[in-house]
């Protein structure tokens, strides 16, 4: 018979495991938000969201994209720390 493998899990809104709750490589899941958590090799927390509506989209732990569409004539702007957001273009005269 196959062995059932279960991850640490919670169905509580906004319940996020601390890095002390996870061992390196261990996975925890919050089924309320559809988020999966793991501990990174450097001891920091890593959050990977699964499902169809993530709160953010981050690539290579460096660039975070907004999840909503911008308005007509808006452009993406960086805050200098890798987070992008929508802003209106300055009009040229």
Spell out the domain ranges in the chain: 1-55, 57-93
The answer to whether 66 touches 83, Cβ cutoff 8 Å, is: no
Global pTM value: 0.49
Residue 86: the pLDDT is 92
CA distance 82 to 62: 6
Render pLDDT for 55-81 as a digit per residue (tens, 0 to 9): 666 666 677 888 788 898 899 898 888
| Res 55: pLDDT | 63
């Amino acid at each position: 018979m196959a062995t059932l493998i279960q991850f640490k899990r919670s169905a509580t809104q906004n319940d996020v495991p601390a890095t002390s709750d996870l061992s390196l490589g261990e996975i925890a899941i919050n089924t309320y938000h559809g988020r999966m958590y793991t501990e990174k090799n450097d001891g920091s927390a890593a959050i990977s969201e699964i499902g169809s509506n993530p709160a953010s989209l981050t690539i290579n732990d460096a660039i975070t994209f907004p999840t909503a569409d911008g308005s007509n004539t808006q452009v993406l702007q960086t805050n200098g720390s890798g987070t992008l957001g929508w802003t209106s273009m300055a009009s040229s005269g």
